[in-house]
Structure 1
């Protein structure tokens, strides 16, 4: 991922926030023929210090379920259009439109598993996580044959990334006055993504470009 120094982030708290807000990732692998393949999947996320783990599952017919090797998980953060009309210095600096966003790339080897005990544990934890968020109470019941039978239709994976890239393009290459003005303008937009980007801008230390 192209990441200019001004937009490179190193605090994994940003990754926590991005996955916490949107745990639906794009998982990319490359097949034996050299062609990339992508799946869009919900994941469970865990971090212990610098160690990160993503867990999820595919439908068994998904070709990616037969891939055990290098993979890239893309965590999609909020994004928003930025109008040059919002910059206080728009005329003297001849400002142009841009897009502000935050995103994470997690690269590492995929570990694939198919045993019933591991799949049952994964499905149970996944349902607990997302049912609670939806205000519902469905649970995987390992004692029910009908529930266990459903496990035959999935394949699980774990991804423990060996490389994590965090990019937060939030106007750090602009004067502080521009950053504040953009945050204020985005906060007034109706789109949740715009408001989320405004919040991220306001969380950044107020530093303009060097020079």
Structure 2
């Protein structure tokens, strides 16, 4: 991922925040034909210092479930259009449109897992995490034959990150007046997405206040 220094951060708190916001990632591997293969998947994430582990599962019918070894995970954050009309210096500096966004790229090693007990534990953790997010309480029950018969239809994975790039392209390359004007314009749009992007811009300007 092309990441100019003004948009790069090594602070993994931002990765924590990206995945806490949306634990739905893009998994990229290379198939036997040498071409990239892509799957979008919900995942579980944990970090101990710099050690990062991401876990999830594919449908067994997905060809990527037979891939292991080097892999790439893309983590997606808030994003939105920025009009040059929002900049106070638009005329003097000849400003042009751009797109603000936050994202991360993780490179590492993918391990496929078919152990039944591991898969049961994964499904229990996934359902617990996601059901909590929506205020519900469904749980995977391995003793329910209707559910248990689905286990052979999935393949689990564990991804260990070896390189992490975090990109926060949030107008840091602009003077303060432009940044504040973009924040105000995004707030004025009034959509959940624009307000979220405005908040991320505030937070990158003042990481201490954001808990970063």
TM range (shorter): over 0.9
Which residue of structure 2 aligns with residue 66 of structure 1? 66
Deviation of 1:184 (Å): 1.2
2:154 aligned residue: 154
TM-score, structure 2 as length reference: 0.94
Task: State the number of aligned residues.
Answer: 206
Instruction: Give the structure 1 partner of residue 166 of structure 2.
Output: 166
Q: Tell me by how many angstroms 1:62 deviates.
A: 0.1
- CA shift, 1:3, in A, is 0.5
Structure 1 position 110, deviation (Å): 0.2
The one-character-per-residue Cα deviations of 1:83-131 (angstroms, maximum 9, x if unpaired) are 1111111110111110000000011010110010000000000000111
User: Structure 1 stretch 137-146 or stretch 160-169: which is displaced more?
Assistant: 137-146
Match of 1:199 in 2: 199
List alignment gaps of at least 5 residues for structure 2.
Answer: 207-212
Farther off after superposition, 196-205 or 58-67: 196-205
Find runs of 4+ consecutive structure 1 residues off by over 3 angstroms: none
Q: CA deviation at 1:190?
A: 3.2
**Deviation of the 1:192 alpha carbon:** 2.4
SS in 1 for 2:161: coil
- 1 CA distance for matches of 2:45 and 2:187? 28
Where in structure 1 are there 5+ consecutive unaligned residues?
A: 207-211
TM-score, length-normalised on structure 1? Answer: 0.95
Alignment match, 1:209: none
Task: Give 1:191 shift.
Answer: 3.0
**In structure 2, what is the Cα distance between the partners aligned to 1:101 and 1:187?**
16
- Mapping of 1:18-97 within 5 angstroms? 18-97=18-97
Q: Give, in angstroms, the shift of residue 146 of structure 1.
A: 2.6
When you count helix as a share of all residues, which structure comes out higher? 2
> What is the RMSD of the two structures over their aligned residues, measured on CA atoms?
1.1
